[in-house]
Amino acid sequence: MTTLPGWNFDKFAEGIRAAGITGPPVSRLIPGAVHGTDTLVSNFASVNMLNLQRRDDVMDRLLDATRKYGLASGGSRTVQGVSPAHIEMETTIAAYLKKEAAISFGTGTLANIGFINAMSGTHSFMPGVAMVNRDVVFVFDRDAHWSLWKSVEGLKFGERIFSFKHNSVESLEEVLKGLAGKRVVVVLESVFSIDGTVAPMHELVDVCERYGAVSYVDDANGFLLYGPPHRKFAEEYAGMQRADFIMVSMKKAVGLEGGLIAGPKDAILGFELLSGTGSFTAGMSAPAAAGTDYITKLLAYDEPEIVDGYLAKVADFRKMLLDAELPVTDTETCFSSLVIGDERRCVELFHAYLDEGIRVPPYLYPAARRGQAVLRIIINAAHTDEQLSNFIEVSTKLRDKGLL
Ligand SMILES: Cc1ncc(COP(=O)(O)O)c(C=O)c1O
């Protein structure tokens, strides 16, 4: 085996191999409730919770768009441009989120990086076409997603980056008080997938407005699941719509790949150049854009009962976890993590579940806080009652053995 002298790859690889990580898990199936190649296991890891790729009408859209527009973008959106499917999807999602305009990106991560790049940098394209944002400071929820923290890595903490306690309105206000006179962008998340919490959006946006800060909400996790008045968290989602910008990822409810930011028309147009991730890398593929447009209309207007049915299943499953007295997180969202704490024990449990035919991914730092590892359970619309009861039986057995 080739070694790189002076680097630690051999030791690191040894450590992760010892923890059972020898490469990515491989599956021959479309991601969903079952996973594997020869041996198939119940899968609680897929974020593609509604399984819509498996519907014939969705697959037809993806295939039609592939034949019509091709699979490759041909270049970045600034240089090569986009397909009519992108424009239709951006218009559909902007209207759904009640924003003037939207711009899509290859992934949600690229949307977040693009937003921070646009809002933090000094951009000068030609005389009269420049934007200087060197003075702007960012205030993050401490538990914000990795992609957001990664985006601000080059900015100095305490000078241009500040953070407030997770979902704490008082803590945000305290930070904003200390930043009077500065241009501030507050970065929020709607649904946190690790602890399943939902941000008190009205109150957080109230504070942003009071202190004249721009608000940006990462809604990667709740897009198309929450919002309608008859569903849980309708109030929080009404609050989210008051934010200046809303970012979504297509990876979760839509079940494809892509990201998008919706907001004021001029700013969205500005992001075409200012984001960098619109100019220097590929965007969403046209089939993903066509599929996302179709699925957005399906879930938002034509068949909202798909989501209602799924959320009812989530509620039933949560009750099963609580009845079995398993250490589940407090809020009833579709992210029902089991709180483990110690990282090694969390990885051991991952293997113990796998031995019983169940995949539940361990989330360690930096996905979770240090020493607060969780097993993140996402039920899939296609999970059978038998798979769900088996999960409870196995969990109870592991708990009785003292592992959980
Ligand atoms: C809160 C949050 N933001 C951003 C992302 C990144 O989205 P994507 O996977 O589309 O890059 C994720 C992905 O899981 C997320 O949970």
Confidence band for 403, pLDDT divided at 50, 70 and 90: confident
Residue position matching structure tokens 């068949």 = 303
Determine the average pLDDT of the residues in 351-364: 95
Q: Ligand 1 center to residue 337 CA distance, Å?
A: 17
186 and 215 in contact (C-beta within 8 Å)?
yes
pLDDT of the residue at 138: 98
Indicate whether residue 376 lines ligand 1 (CB < 6 A): no
Instruction: Specify the residue with its C-alpha closest to ligand 1, atom 10.
Output: 108
Residue 19: band (very low, low, confident or very high) from pLDDT cuts 50, 70, 90: confident
β-pairing, 137-141 with 161-164? parallel
Question: Average pLDDT, stretch 360-376?
Answer: 93
Of all residues in the chain, what percent carry a pLDDT higher than 90?
A: 93
- CA–centroid distance, 7 to ligand 1, in Å, is 30
Nearest-CA residue for atom 8 of ligand 1? 108
- For CATH 3.40.640.10, list the domain ranges present in the chain: 56-302
pLDDT at 404 over 90: no
pLDDT at 26: 95
Q: Which amino acid is at 52?
A: L
pLDDT digits (tens, 9 = 90+) for 149-191: 999 999 999 999 999 999 999 999 999 999 999 999 999 999 9
Query: Is the CB–ligand 1 distance for residue 147 below 6 Å?
Result: yes
Please tell me the residue having the least CA distance from ligand 1 atom 9.
108
The predicted model gives 380-399 an average pLDDT of 97
Bridge partner residues of 103 (DSSP): 261
How far is ligand 1, taken at its centre, from the CA of residue 109, in Å? 6
Tell me how far apart the alpha carbons of residues 345 and 201 are, in angstroms, rounded to a whole number. Answer: 35
Q: Tell me what percent of the chain is helix, strand and coil, each rounded to the nearest 5.
A: 40, 15, 45
* Residue 20: pLDDT over 90: no
* pLDDT tens figures, 235-289: 999 999 999 999 999 999 999 999 999 999 999 999 999 999 999 999 999 999 9
Average pLDDT over residues 365-394: 95
Does ligand 1 have an atom closer than 6 angstroms to the CB of 293? no
Residue limits of CATH 3.90.1150.10 in the chain:
20-49+304-400
Per residue in 87-100, pLDDT tens?
999 999 999 999 99
Give me ligand 1 centre to Cα 218, in Å. 8
- Distance from chain centroid for Cα 336: 15
- At the top level of CATH, the class of 20-49+304-400 is alpha beta
- Tell me which CATH code domain 56-302 carries: 3.40.640.10
Q: What is the mean pLDDT of the chain?
A: 96
Q: How far is CA 338 from CA 61, 193, 327, 335, 385, in A?
A: 37, 12, 5, 10, 20
Pairing of strands 245-249, 214-218: parallel
Q: Is 197 in the pocket of ligand 1 (CB under 6 A)?
A: no
Q: What local confidence, expressed as pLDDT, does residue 385 receive?
A: 97
State the average pLDDT over residues 227-242. 97
How far apart are alpha carbons 154 and 138 in whole angstroms? 12
Average pLDDT over residues 113-117: 98
- Token pair, residue 3, equals 């070694």
Here the contacts of 309-318 (C-beta below 8 Å, separation 24 or greater) are 309/381, 310/49, 310/50, 310/225, 310/334, 310/381, 311/225, 311/231, 311/232, 313/379, 313/381, 313/383, 314/379, 316/388, 317/379, 317/388
Average pLDDT estimate for 22-39: 94
State if residue 259 touches ligand 1 by the CB under 6 angstroms criterion: yes
Nearest-atom number in ligand 1 for the CA of 259 is 10
How much is the average pLDDT of 111-116?
Answer: 98
| pLDDT at residue 370, as a whole number | 92
User: 249 CB under 6 A from ligand 1?
Assistant: yes
Say what the pLDDT of residue 153 is.
Answer: 95
Q: Convert 111-143 into a string of H (helix), E (strand) and C (coil).
A: HHHHHHHHHHCEEEEECCEEEECCCCEEEEECC
For residue 21, what pLDDT is reported? 87
pLDDT (tens digit, 9 = 90+) per residue, 194-219?
988 999 999 999 999 999 999 999 99
For ligand 1, the distance from its centroid to the CA atom of residue 12, given in whole angstroms, is: 26
Residue given tokens 């993140």 in the structure block: 376
Residue 47 pLDDT level (bands cut at 50, 70, 90)? very high
The reply to whether ligand 1 has any atom less than 6 angstroms from the CB of 109 is yes
251 lines ligand 1 (CB under 6 A): yes
- Give the number of other Cβ atoms within 10 Å of residue 75's Cβ: 12
Answer whether 313 contacts ligand 1 (Cβ < 6 A): no
Mutate which of 219, 221, 225 for ligand 1 pocket (most atoms within 8 A of beta carbon): 221
Find, among 319, 242, 254, the residue nearest to 290 by Cα. Answer: 254
- Residue 80's SS3 state is coil
Evaluate: CB of 144 within 6 angstroms of ligand 1: no
Q: Is the CB of 189 under 6 A from ligand 1?
A: yes
